[in-house]
Each structure stands twice: as structure tokens, then as C-alpha cells.
A and B are shown apart, each in its own frame.
Chain A
Amino acid sequence: MAGSPVQVTGTVLTMRRVDAYHALTVVAPGIADRFRPGHFVTVAVGGPRTSTLTRRAFAVHDVKPDYGGTVELVFTVRGAGTAWLADRRARDPLDLIGPLGRPFPLPRDPASCLLVGSEYGAAGLFALADALQQRNCRVDFVLGAASSDRVFGALRARRMAETATLTTRDGSLGVRGSVVDVLPGVIADTHADVVYACGPMATLGGVTAVCAEFGIPVQVSVEELMACGIGLCMTCTVPVIGDDGVTRMTRACVDGPVFRGERVRFDDVGTIPFDAHGAPGGDRAR
């Protein structure tokens, strides 16, 4: 049952600050065993009588074999749910479901791989980098954020990768600008064969456009608001072109979050494209 997700009550091992973010390590053996890079997990927040019913989804930064298997998540406090999560301490129980979603496909033969991430979305790229290096792939990083304290994992990226290019919007670290601005130069320098990207939709759209110019494949991990993370609620849909060429409103949680970049209609996110399967107008009834 390698791919099948499980619901477990994990135990918090540590909660620490990493730059501007919180890093939470939970003992969750069933999830750690099944994890592959690109999977995500969801957490129930607010305790047993919670008033926040939607689960919070997080990329997995790392899994380790300690204590039967631990999972590390990186997050920032954005609202009541993540504030509750940031207050968890060692030995607190935590309701987790995972691993969820489609993981990153890995190249069969050694290739030069460029990993692009912005803010704490980059957390999901480090387990991928480990897996790629085990397959003798060259790994390069481009990490960006608004300011230097929000660039996640710069040190680790510098240590493990051939090159790590950093960008900040305010110029406080690395190149002033966004990850998309430096991407053409980095692709040319590193002779990248494939690009993997995590981050907000606008960034992923920009990365995909650059990769299309260079004619190299890109795998993107999308972020879309979701209530359940397991395919029930139908709220995390993204317009994605299928193998048959038809655009469908596709659930990011079960059919993603990893998609081939050129399949995602980034310009149409937040709309129902007129040619999507079942779009209004195609359906005479309503």
C-alpha cells in the first residue's frame, strides 16, 4: 500500500523557528514510510472541538527514520489555524493525513535538474533534491522571497547543490527581483535538462513560460485553497489540459499538486475557461 494515505495521530517532537518560519517535526511513522518527494500532508487544527473545520495542507520538508519515522513541516502564521499550530509543543498530539497527492516524477537517467522555489514553498524541494542526487542528478537551486529572512533553506541549498541562486524583491540578499527574472540565465549556465518549481501560481506561470522558451520540461507543484486535501470537497480545482487535449477543472489535491507546467492554464486560474469540459454554454441546461 505504498501510495495510500493514512490518518494518524502523530506526536509533536519539536517546534523551532527557521528564519521567518516555523518548522514542526511530528512522529508519524505511517506517513514517513510512504512519503515520496512532492507529497503533502494535511493537519486538523484547533483541537477536538475546533471551530476551524478545514484541514491545513503543508508540503513536507523532510522525513527522517527517527522514532519510527518523523515528518517535518514548514509554515508561517497566516490565521487562526496556523497560529494554533505554532503554539504546539513537544508531546502534543496532532491529527495528520498523508502522504497526499501525486509526487514529483524523477528522471530515469542522470540529468541536470534545476529546483525553483519561492518563500517557504521551497521547503518541499529539499527531499526532492536528496532523491535526485541519489540518482546521480546534478541539482541547482533558485530560491527567492520578498526579503532575506524569508528565503527558505538558502544555507542547505548552498551546501548540497552545485549552485544556489538567491533572489529577493528588496535586494537584501542575492539578486534583486524574482526567481523568474534570473531563471533564463541560470538555465543557460547550468544546462538544465528539467525544472521543478514550487510557489504561488503567478511564479509558477512565469517559470513555465521561461521553460517553454528553452524547450525544457517543467514540473510544478501548485498551491490552491483546499478544505479537505483528499478529493472530497472539490474546492482546489485548477484548469488543467488532460492527455486527450481537453481542459478539465482538476483537483490539485488528488490529481496534483504536481503537474507538468505546460498542462496548467495559469492565465485562466480563477476562471472557468470557455472551452473547459462542462463549461457554462456547453451545457444547454443552465
Chain B
Amino acid sequence: MPADMRTYLAHVELPNPILTASGCAGTGRELAPFADVTRLGALTTRTITMAARAGRPTPRMAETPSGLLNAVGLQGPGVDVFLARELPWLAERGARTVVSIGGGSVAEFSALARKLTDAPGVTALEVNLSCPNVEDRGRVFGRDPSAAGEVVSAVRTAARYDLPVIAKLTPDVADVVAIAKACVDGGAEALSMINNPVGMAIDVDRMRPALAAGTGGLSGPAIRPLAVKCVWQVHAALPGTPVIGMGGVTSGRDALELVLAGACAVAVGTVLFHDPYAGHRVLRELEELLQERGFDRLADAVGLAHRPSHRTDREESSL
């Protein structure tokens, strides 16, 4: 008997817990020749901004051990083109769509939320808190609890009451739990973590930074332990808040690791560049692993690693 894979983001039911991570599934159309996007739990769009953005100069990408540095710079045509051309394609096919939004000010976030809230086909809004705040000397919203809470509550106020708001957290903070609590207090119904930590690589042949932008977001299996830690800490502090775990998931085992740490859904990102069918493969592998371990429901495995086992010497590291 296969395990019941349904999961919930607030009151929204997803048929399975595998999502795509923001910025890794294109508009859905690019993925479609290789994998049925409607069979995913949900597809998360790249971060949608108010105006069109050309992004960063190339080179935008550098491969690192078990990872990828990227500095794309949120390239996209802007929210109006997204609503006119990209969202309808997903909606027509019945794909559940989490729309990631990003802005340079609180006002821009709430304007985006207002534009998107009544569009058909939007399953949830994900607030990309890793955007620099132009009104606060470019400081990233997600690194400051009060700024993060303010953005989330502005989006929550602007969005329709029954549209879940998800806050996407960066691991580049001293205390991820403090940010998570501020977001939940601001009205976030769910949290997704982790966004890319910032990294850098230098091309020793050219003796210059590998990326034109200098630094970039690090993704891939290299960051999975960071993701597990963040999910673990946040689930321990906020056990009632649904967490979408992501960061270097390439297999069902990786997904199960995040589920056991406390994630009720798991997103695949960078692995889609390697294998566009990865989402469906991870789902099948996760289903098999749960079945092998005797679970009837995915929900029974969420956060299971927090329960004490025979030995109780699991002390938190002071690091």
C-alpha cells in the first residue's frame, strides 16, 4: 500500500510534496518536454519583479564542488508579461503555481501581491526575502527580523485572505529562527528554506573572479547540510508552521532527510539543470523510501528525527 503523499501549505492541499525551487524551472514551458509539470506538487516560478530586469552580465555561472554559483540577477520580463504570457500557460494545464515575488521596497512587494492575488492559477505567493532594500542602503530584507516581518505583513495584507503567503529565508543570518518567527508574526502561513547562501569563486587561470558580479548564490548538494540545519532549527521552534525544505536535493533520500528534519514539502532546484526529470524521480524514490519504512502517510515522517530515540545525547552544538 503506497504511502499517502498529500501535504498542506496552510489550507491548500498539494497531491504530493515535491515542488520546484524558484528560478530553477523556467516558466514551466522549458521543463514540459521532459517532465509533466502538472504532476509536481507545485511549480515555483522564478522571482517575478514589477519591471523588466536584464539581470547581471555574463559569466553568470561557475561550477563548484557539488554545487553551482550563480549570479543571474532576477532576469525577467516583469509582472505584466508574466501575467499575460507565463501564468496562463501554467493555469491552462492545471499546474499548481507558487509565484515568487521580489522587490526593492515594501511598497513594491505589496503592489506585486495586489497584481497577482486575483490572477487565476496562483496557488500561493512566495516572498523572496533575499532582495536588497533600496530604502535601507541595499540591506537584504531577509537578514533583519523587523524588515522581513514588515515585508511579509505588507504582502499578507495585500493578498486575498485565502492565498497562502510563504516567506523564503536565507541561511546567511546569525539566527534563522528569529527571522522565521518575525515572518510568522507578520502573517506568513508557511516558510521555505533555504535560499542560496552567498559564495564566491576565483578563476585561477584568469586570476579574476569567476562570476562577472563577483559573488553569487551557492546551490546544489554542497549546501544541503545548511538546509537541514535551518529546517531542523525552525521546525523545533515553530512546529506548527509548514516548512518547504530545499537546498541540494538530488534524490529521494535527500528529500527524506529534509522531511525528517521537519519539512512537509521539499523543493528540487539545481538538480533540474542536471536532470529535468529529477522532480518526478525524487517523488518516486521518496514514496518508495516511506513505504520501505512502513509509513502510511508522509505527514507521519515530518519532523520525526526530533523525537528522542533510545539515546538522548543529542545536544545542540554551541557552533
Which A positions have Cβ atoms within 8 angstroms of B?
4-7, 44, 50-55, 81, 95, 97, 224-228, 230-238, 248-249, 254, 269-272, 276-280, 282-286
- Contact present for A283 and B53 (CB under 8 Å): yes
Q: Is the CB of B63 within 8 A of A232?
A: no
Among A44, A50, A272, A277, the most chain B Cβ lie within 10 Å of the Cβ of A272
| B277, A7: Cβ atoms closer than 8 Å | yes
Residues of B within 8 A of A (CB): 23-26, 30-31, 33-34, 46, 49-61, 63, 65-68, 70, 72, 75-78, 103-105, 108, 132, 134, 212, 220-221, 270-277
The CA of A140 and the CA of B9, in the complex, are separated in Å by: 62
Nearest Cβ on chain A to B190's Cβ, whole angstroms: 24
The distance from the CB of B142 to the nearest CB of chain A, in whole angstroms, is 16
Q: Is the CB of A51 within 8 A of B68?
A: no
Chain B residues with Cβ under 8 A from A81's Cβ? 63
> How far is B76's CA from A286's CA once the two chains are assembled, in angstroms?
14
Residues from chain B with Cβ under 8 Å of A6 in the complex = 33
Q: Is the CB of A227 within 8 A of B273?
A: yes
5 tightest A-B contacts by CB?
Answer: A278-B52, A235-B61, A228-B273, A231-B30, A278-B54
**Complex formed: what's the CA distance from A121 to B56 in Å?**
27
User: What are 18 A-B pairs with beta-carbon distances under 8 A?
Assistant: A6-B33, A53-B67, A54-B61, A227-B61, A230-B34, A231-B26, A232-B30, A232-B31, A233-B273, A234-B60, A235-B72, A280-B54, A283-B49, A283-B51, A283-B53, A285-B50, A285-B51, A285-B103
Say whether B34 contacts A7, CB under 8 Å: yes
Interface of B is mostly: loop
* A55 proximity list for chain B (CB < 8 A): 273-274
A7-B34, A237-B55 provided; 14 other pairs, C-beta below 8 A? A44-B275, A226-B61, A230-B34, A232-B24, A232-B25, A232-B26, A232-B31, A232-B272, A235-B60, A236-B58, A277-B52, A278-B52, A278-B54, A285-B134
**Chain A residues with CB below 8 A from B273, complex form:** 53-55, 227-228, 232-233
Residues of A with C-beta under 8 A to B70: 227, 233, 235
Given contacts A54-B63, A54-B273, contact A284 B51 (CB under 8 A): yes
Q: Are B274 and A54 in contact (CB under 8 A)?
A: yes
Q: Who on chain A is nearest to B271 by CB? A: A53
> How far is B27's CA from A259's CA once the two chains are assembled, in angstroms?
23
